[in-house]
Amino acid sequence: MKFGKNINRNSQNNIMPAANTSDNPVTITLNTDDKAAILADIAALSGKLNFLVGLTNEQRRKMLKLGDKSIGFDEKCASYMAARPELIPGFVDTTTLAAARADLADIQRALGELAQRADDTDMVLAHEVFLPELSFYHSVQQAAKHGVPGAQAIYDDLRTRFPGRPTASTKPAPTKAA
């Protein structure tokens, strides 16, 4: 597959959009075999991460969250639990839980960086697709103004994306203050 224009890479080999994308084409070439190999690698990785769980929206809503507001509490509890292990309930295995969280955090970081790069690449490609589409839209708009057959129907369909400002006929009448 070939997409868009040139994608540049910085010194850390991160994809960077070209400074002037209209002058620097981005090319992403992915043949069928490479794509199949990547998807197979992702499936293999998913198999190795078989301990990951999936939650429903309802389950997520009911879960206790350990967000930014709770980090201080979490850190204090960990400190107190290390200092006073005799107060830890017998059914709590703090060593296993702490190791699991640390391991998962490393995996999340690596996957998150990769997912962010995929999202960024998608954004660059979407940008590169949208620019010529806007040119097409403006061409159709001009063609409709000049009565080119079929152009008005296309323009009417596409212009819903750009509703613009209300015209005098569609503006609500101003109300007088009492």
DSSP string, 16-62: EE-TTTTTS---EE--HHHHHHHHHHHHHHHHHTTT-----HHHHHH
Query: In this structure, are residues 131 and 22 in contact, taking their beta carbons and an 8 Å threshold?
Result: yes
pLDDT of 32-64, one tens digit each?
999 999 999 999 999 999 999 999 999 999 998
Pair 38, 62: CB distance under 8 Å: no
Mean pLDDT of the chain: 82
Of residues 106, 124, 132, the one with CA closest to residue 15: 124
Spatial CB neighbours of 120, under 8 Å, sequence gap ≥ 6: 15
pLDDT for 15-25, tens place per residue?
A: 444 444 454 45
> Which stretch, 18-27, 92-101, 166-175, has highest mean pLDDT?
92-101
- Helix (H/G/I), strand (E/B), else coil: 112: helix
Point out which residues pair with 8 in neighbouring strands.
Answer: 16
3 has pLDDT over 50: no
Euclidean distance between CA atoms 59 and 54, whole angstroms: 9
> How many beta carbons lie within 10 A of that of residue 21, not counting itself?
18
pTM for this predicted structure: 0.59
